[in-house]
Structure 1
Amino acid sequence: MTSATTMSMALEPVHRERLMRLAREVSFEAGTRLFEEGRRADRFWIVRTGTVALDLHVPGRRSAVIETLGHGELIGWSWHFTPYSWHLGGEAASRVRAWECDAEAVRALCAEDADFGRAIAVWVGRVVAQRLHASRIRLLDLYGPYGSGGLA
């Protein structure tokens, strides 16, 4: 987790407050699937407590856990980009309490308020970059001939 990807560090207070007005509190028991790779991404979450494991379907093998996310982190970025389909799967690794946001409502607010939209786009973009890096390292560790060797 980097400070650039947690909501409290990534969004200015005014944008964070606007986003939180659209959020509702939810909870998930350990083992609950939040979303499945390839399905419609119509919401996202910000973790309050607990952890969520992001996984990638690997044909002929068990799904590979790419990253485990916790407090303050964004769960889901696929809602922000067409065709709004999940690129990974997600499962509660422990009991999770989170804020859930409706993707369509947030996209509408982004379209209505350019400053808010830009702030959300930068935040989500940082998250995407960090997740792609984590995915690369994890897949090298799992399937590369010598693993990543800690090099990035």
Structure 2
Amino acid sequence: MKILVINGPNLNFLGIREKSIYGNENYDYLIKMIEDKAKETGSDITTWQSNHEGAIIDKLQEAYFDGTEAIIINPGAYTHYSYAIHDALKSLENIVKVEVHISNIKKREDFRANSVTAAACELQIYGHGLKGYLEAIDYCLGIEV
């Protein structure tokens, strides 16, 4: 299965930013974890990160044409207000979409509890740390989460 993992703003600062919330592991650790899961499952998984809303939308639209079968997205702060990313996700009707958050967004600041992008996804996983990405991959592969 061809899976695209999109990480939004500040995810490249894992291990630097708010370690008490996001943990000590850095972004390279997350990428290696996903690469190992790809090998384990025989999946074609591409990871990509951007701090720019328009670039994320461009990448989502590119996925429509390149044979991507599933998208795992952590939109970062765009989760809470980007109707543009919501609309881009919504337009990908034949692609499985899972939203992932490392922290428990329901138990943080009030604004974080609301996700405008989750409604365009089949599943939202939050509060499971980096393991949430592995759970999202399993979901995309049809493995019970």
The TM-score bracket by the shorter chain reads under 0.3
**Structure with higher helix content:** 2
Mark the structure with the bigger radius of gyration: 1
Normalising to structure 1: TM-score of the pair? 0.24
**Structure with higher strand content:** 1
Normalising to structure 2: TM-score of the pair? 0.25
Higher RCO (CA 8 Å, separation ≥ 6 residues): 1
